[in-house]
Amino acid sequence: MEYIQKLDLLTTQRAIEFLRHRFQEELSSALSLTRVSAPLFVKKDSGINDDLNGVERPVCFDVLETGEIMEVVHSLAKWKRMALAQYGFPMHTGLYTDMNAIRRDEVCDRLHSIYVDQWDWEAVIDAADRTEAFLRQTVEKIYGAVLTAADCLAEKYPVLDNYLPRQISFVTTYELEERYPDKTPKQREYAAVREYGAVFLMQIGDRLKSGEKHDGRAPDYDDWTLNGDLLVYNRVIDDAFELSSMGIRVDKTALVAQLQKENKEERLALPFHKALMEDRLPLSIGGGIGQSRLCMLLLQKAHIGEVHASVWPQSEIDRCKEIGAVLL
Give which of 203, 133, 193, 131 is closest to 168, Cα–Cα.
Answer: 193
Distance CA 200, CA 183 (A): 19
Q: Which residue is catalytic, options 28, 113, 118, 284?
A: 118
Q: Which residue is catalytic, options 26, 50, 129, 222?
A: 50
Distance CA 73, CA 68 (A): 15
Distance CA 144, CA 142 (A): 5
Q: Which residue is catalytic, options 75, 203, 244, 245?
A: 245
Per the annotation, the verdict on 50 as an active-site residue is yes
**52 Cβ contact partners less than 8 Å away, ≥ 6 residues apart:** 74, 75, 103, 216, 218
Per the annotation, the verdict on 169 as an active-site residue is no
Cβ(65)–Cβ(83) under 8 Å?
no
Per the annotation, the verdict on 56 as an active-site residue is no
Q: Which residue is catalytic, options 20, 22, 81, 103?
A: 103
Per the annotation, the verdict on 118 as an active-site residue is yes
Beta strand 33-35 with 94-102 is: parallel
Cβ(70)–Cβ(61) under 8 Å?
yes
Q: Which residue is catalytic, options 51, 229, 306, 316?
A: 229
* Type of residue at 228: G
Q: Which residue is catalytic, options 98, 140, 242, 251?
A: 242
Distance CA 3, CA 296 (A): 13
Burial of 37 (0-12, 13-18, 19+ CB in 10 A): exposed
Give which of 205, 132, 199 is closest to 171, Cα–Cα.
Answer: 199
How many Cβ atoms sit within 10 Å of the Cβ of residue 8? 9
**182 Cβ contact partners less than 8 Å away, ≥ 6 residues apart:** none
Active site residues: 50, 103, 118, 229, 242, 245
